[in-house]
Amino acid sequence: MKKFFLTTTALFIAAAISAQSASWQQRAEYKMDVELNDVNHQYKGKQTLTYYNNSPESLNKVFFHLYFNAFQPGSAMDVRSRTIVDPDGRVGDRIFNLKPEEYGYLHVKSLKIDGRTLKTLESETILEVTLDKPIAAGTKAVFELEFEGQVPLQIRRSGRDNNEGIDYSMSQWYPKMCEYDAHGWHANPYIGREFYGVWGDFDVNITMAKNYIIAATGVLQNPNEIGYGYADDETKVKKSAGEKLTWRFKAQNVHDFVWAADPDYAHDKIQVPDGPMLHFFYQKNTDYVQSWKDAQPLMTKAFDFLSKNFGKYPYPVYSIIQGGDGGMEYPMATLVTGNRKLPSLVGVSVHEAAHSWYQGVLATNESLYAWMDEGFTSFASQETMDYLFRSGMPTGHEPAYNSYIDIVKEGKEESLDTHADHFETNYAYGTAVYSKGEVYLAQLEYIIGPYHFRTALLNYFNTFKFKHPDNYDFIRTMEKQSGMELDWYNEYFVNTTKTIDYSIAGVMGEQKQTKVVIERKGLMPMPLDVEVKYKDGTFETFVIALDIMRGEKPADGYNGKWTIMPDWKWVEPVYELMIPKGITDIESITIDSSGLMADINRKNNTIVPANAVQFIIDNR
């Protein structure tokens, strides 16, 4: 009896532990046939979706996204775009002013599950489907849908006739199953921000007038019918008889499928050694065609750098496609505007390509953790751009620190754990998820040191690819590699807007040693590197860890003396650092000479003992 009790308890604990991290994923296999009419911009499609319920729950409802319904006057996206304090200039009141023939829409005309027709409830951008029989845990169901859509005039990301004359930018265009994970359904109405999808395979056939060239997620299956630079031997291309052509694409292990179509696309391709085939689709406009040619070898270098530093790109292809309204990431592809000088074209392409790692392959729930997508992507793309363009003098992450510190000083910061749709301003959203998200990583490198940080960043990718990790999975990976406790870092820097400010409050010579009084003025505690420059030209860093870290970072490649000091108890407002040298031997003392700690006031971080009296007065 006792033995049985112990066994069941052990099983229960094992189940509870496995549920904490991403141990199961739903799976979706889409087969779609779609035909787009380029006169009225409407399309009809059929979808067969095999949905695997890998969760431990049985499902009695499912939800689909119908994103194109956002592009109608009065939609949630329209109202949000007009009423937010600081509207996005790309949207503003443009949805409100659309005429019926310019609207977007997507309607499901019929839906069957395992052959049985079900009723559906369309609620703007969400389709709610109540099942007549639940989909039991560990089983699959086959949905068959017929749908009709109209491509909206291009407003945000998707749509027809963008500013540069690209006919169709087709993102978020089909009924897309919402994601269900350990936290339940994520049926967020679309207001123009984040996406979160189910892993799976796509098999998509797109039929259009023959003069169109189509770029899409995945690998083209019928190159010898299509031509346009896809076929091995273009002279042997056999286009089908008739006015239309069907393009067949397949993509595996992705959570979305994008395509774009234009009659004037040029198409080039270039192989990344030990990486994907890169495809480029752009218009041969004399203003920018040279940028699109020159970008190609740089993008192969970028993919190589990203794969070496952030994890191996797992797909066979990547397409950089002129379209959309700026830059937007999709699986195996991006839509970017094309009228750009070379650094701008490479900059946007590198950023969107770097999303392949964080939005594409790791695919954290962007709505809840937008900073783990945009911020981490910004971190990776900044380092890639430094590698491509500034190998001598990298910019590093300084611009991100500056924009984070600016918003703090303006008093407009909102915390990183805010749901992406619920930020009060676009400004606070953008600064939090792009800039503070980038600072989050750069500062973590300061806390645990470059060796542990870079190793753990690769471990994170390899452990959690295709698993939708969250912020606990991430920080736990950093803890395991570094051997340090880091939960406090997320609790302060992610869950609050508390800030960091340390100051050198005073310095006193005491016989043959020097006492430095350091004050924590900000509410967020941090470990400190205090670098002392001696008058003989040597350097020494005094490493003051926080007691709650239970460890301190290694010296890594530091080229001065590395001295570990007693921990700073985080509750203490003041720390006295004893330097075993006379005050007259010291040139200067600096808190965090790397600049990687996001100290909002760096003016009080350095002291030159010779000027100390003046310094203390200045910093009162």
Could you say which residues in the range 289-348 bind Zn ion, by CB under 5 A? none
Q: Which is closer to Zn ion, CB of 431 or CB of 541?
A: 431
Q: Which is closer to Zn ion, CB of 374 or CB of 445?
A: 374
Q: Which is closer to Zn ion, CB of 200 or CB of 360?
A: 360
- Min CB(351)–Zn ion separation in Å: 6
- Min CB(397)–Zn ion separation in Å: 16
Are 490 and 469 contacting, i.e. CB atoms less than 8 angstroms apart?
Answer: no
Could you say which residues in the range 147-206 bind Zn ion, by CB under 5 A? none
What CA–CA distance (Å, rounded) separates 432 from 439?
A: 10
Interaction mask 371-390, Zn ion, x per CB under 5 A: ---x----------------
What CA–CA distance (Å, rounded) separates 285 from 339?
A: 8
Are 258 and 166 contacting, i.e. CB atoms less than 8 angstroms apart?
Answer: no
Residue 391 has a CB neighbour count (10 Å cut-off) of 8
- Min CB(381)–Zn ion separation in Å: 8
Q: Which is closer to Zn ion, CB of 394 or CB of 430?
A: 430
- Min CB(373)–Zn ion separation in Å: 7
Q: Which is closer to Zn ion, CB of 374 or CB of 413?
A: 374
Residue 353 has a CB neighbour count (10 Å cut-off) of 29
- Min CB(90)–Zn ion separation in Å: 15
- Min CB(356)–Zn ion separation in Å: 11
Phi first, then psi: what are they for 383, rounded to 5°? -70, -35
What CA–CA distance (Å, rounded) separates 84 from 294?
A: 40
For 617, the 3-state DSSP assignment is: helix
What CA–CA distance (Å, rounded) separates 603 from 620?
A: 12
Q: Which is closer to Zn ion, CB of 143 or CB of 313?
A: 313
Q: Which is closer to Zn ion, CB of 377 or CB of 477?
A: 377
Residue 535 has a CB neighbour count (10 Å cut-off) of 12
DSSP of 66-110, one letter per residue? -GGGGSSTTSHHHHHHHHSSS--TTTTTTTTT--GGG--EEEEEE
Distance of CA 262 to the CA centre of its chain: 28
Could you say which residues in the range 545-604 bind Zn ion, by CB under 5 A? none
Q: Which is closer to Zn ion, CB of 433 or CB of 549?
A: 433
What CA–CA distance (Å, rounded) separates 520 from 369?
A: 29
Residues in the chain: 620
What CA–CA distance (Å, rounded) separates 403 from 599?
A: 13
The residue count for binding Zn ion (CB under 5 A) is 1
**Closest of 176, 165, 166 to residue 69, by C-alpha:** 176
- Min CB(355)–Zn ion separation in Å: 6
- Min CB(377)–Zn ion separation in Å: 5
- Min CB(350)–Zn ion separation in Å: 11
Could you say which residues in the range 355-374 bind Zn ion, by CB under 5 A? 374
What CA–CA distance (Å, rounded) separates 440 from 489?
A: 9
Q: Which is closer to Zn ion, CB of 358 or CB of 489?
A: 358
Q: Which is closer to Zn ion, CB of 226 or CB of 380?
A: 380
Residue 613 has a CB neighbour count (10 Å cut-off) of 10
The single residue listed with the structure tokens 């921990």 is 567
Instruction: Please give the residue whose beta carbon sits closest to Zn ion in the complex.
Output: 374
Beta bridge partners of 204: 32, 249
- Min CB(406)–Zn ion separation in Å: 20
Phi first, then psi: what are they for 307, rounded to 5°? -65, -40
**Closest of 583, 575, 601, 603 to residue 532, by C-alpha:** 583
DSSP of 536-552, one letter per residue? TS-EEEEEE-BGGG-S-
Q: Which is closer to Zn ion, CB of 374 or CB of 414?
A: 374
- Min CB(192)–Zn ion separation in Å: 14
Which residues lie near Zn ion (CB under 5 A)?
Answer: 374
